[in-house]
Every structure is written in C-alpha cells, then in structure tokens.
C-alpha cells in the first residue's frame, strides 16, 4: 500500500535554516547602531513631522553639530552620514551611534539603555551647551540674488532666502550640483538654478 506523503511545513522544522526568517536575518551583517535625525528631538516639530520624544523633552531646532557634541561628551562615538530624512527632503544628515560596545555587549553609558532614553538625554543636554547659552553675534546671511534682484522680493512679507512655502532653505541648487540623472529632467532654462 502506497503511503501518502505531504510536503514538509514550517512547523515540522524540515525546511532547513535557510527558509527561516531568523536564519536569513543572522546570515547578513546587521548594523546595530541607532539612527538619530535632528527632527527626532525638535520640540517645534509635530509627531507627523518626525518628532519621536515628547515636546517638553525636546529642544528647539537642534543641529547635527550640537547632537554630535553632546554624544561625544557622553562617551559615544557618533558617525555622521550624508543621508536625507525621508519625510523632509531638505533635512540632510543623520547620526549613527552604538548604545552598546560591539565587542563586549555592555552599555556605553550605563544609565542609557534605550534609544528613547538617549533622545531624552540629548534633549536635556543640548540647551545647556555653551553655544546655546551664549549665542555669537552673527552677521545676517546675505540675500541670494538672481539677475541683480534679491530672491523673492516680489512676494510681500517674505524675506530673502525664504521659499514660497515659508520655510528657510535653498531656493535652488548651485550650478553643477544637479543630482545624477536629473540633467534632462529640468525644464529648459531651469537647470542649475
């Protein structure tokens, strides 16, 4: 009498380690560093914008330099990466840091065991930086000029260097800075603006 056979299933454990999602995860090197974008700490940003911690624990408009300065002071070895934040294409740069020592697995800073705790510590420490307490007297940024006239001068109530949506930032890309593959995409006369 012929015996009916069935295909092995995941429950049987007969498919081998290659089919298990755990095995595939272990086969590839995984970067265990956490990612920090400045918007995660920005008390002026909304949750939809990307703020991760409560506004009262955040800090107003943190910069990458301030975050790196505090991380180094705490004893971490931050790595700056030139990446764009997915929710805001103008927000460029992120920081990666290990919470644990790669060799021993021990926490780098014993009182900080999670990403949330680190973000709260950053939000608490950045306002105490010397650069925040004693702002230097900077000259106002020069207006970007196109054809001899200040940018956006025809829009009432909007200063030079402001985009039409009211956000400070780049009005256009400097000449020669077009992203790869975008040279033919811009309308005629707009390339390199």
List pLDDT tens digits, range 58-83: 999 999 999 999 999 999 999 999 99
Do residues 172 and 189 touch, judged by C-beta distance below 8 A? no
> Mean pLDDT lowest for which of 1-5, 88-92, 94-98, 160-164?
160-164
- Largest Cα–Cα distance in the chain? 94
* Token pair for 11: 């429950």
Residues 167, 173, 179: CA angle, nearest 5 degrees: 120
97, two tokens: 């840091």
CB 155, CB 164: distance < 8 Å: yes
Give the Cα separation of 107 and 66 in Å (integer).
22
Dihedral, CA atoms, 75, 80, 86, 91, nearest 10 degrees? 100
Provide the whole-model pTM.
0.57
Task: Tell me if 160 sits within 8 A of 144, measured CB to CB.
Answer: yes
Q: 133-148 burial by CB neighbour count: b if 16+ within 10 A, else e?
A: eeeeeeeeeeeeeeee
How far apart are alpha carbons 169 and 155 in whole angstroms?
16
pLDDT confidence bin for 105, thresholds 50/70/90: confident
């Amino acid at each position: 009498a012929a015996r009916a056979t069935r295909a092995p299933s995941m429950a049987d454990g007969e498919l081998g380690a290659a089919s298990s999602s755990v095995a595939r995860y272990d086969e590839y090197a995984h970067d265990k560093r956490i990612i920090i974008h400045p918007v995660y700490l920005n008390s002026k940003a909304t949750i939809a914008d990307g703020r991760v911690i409560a506004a009262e624990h955040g800090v107003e408009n943190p910069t990458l330099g301030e975050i790196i300065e505090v991380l180094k002071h705490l004893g971490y070895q931050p790595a700056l990466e030139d990446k764009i934040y997915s929710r805001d294409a103008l927000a460029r740069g992120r920081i990666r840091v290990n919470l644990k020592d790669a060799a021993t697995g021990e926490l780098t800073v014993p009182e900080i065991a999670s990403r949330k705790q680190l973000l709260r510590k950053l939000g608490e420490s950045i306002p105490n930086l010397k650069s925040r307490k004693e702002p230097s007297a900077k000259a106002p940024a020069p207006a970007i000029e196109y054809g001899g006239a200040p940018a956006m001068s025809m829009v009432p109530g909007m200063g030079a260097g402001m985009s039409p949506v009211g956000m400070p930032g780049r009005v256009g890309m400097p000449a020669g800075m077009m992203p790869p593959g975008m040279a033919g995409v811009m309308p005629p006369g707009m390339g390199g603006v």
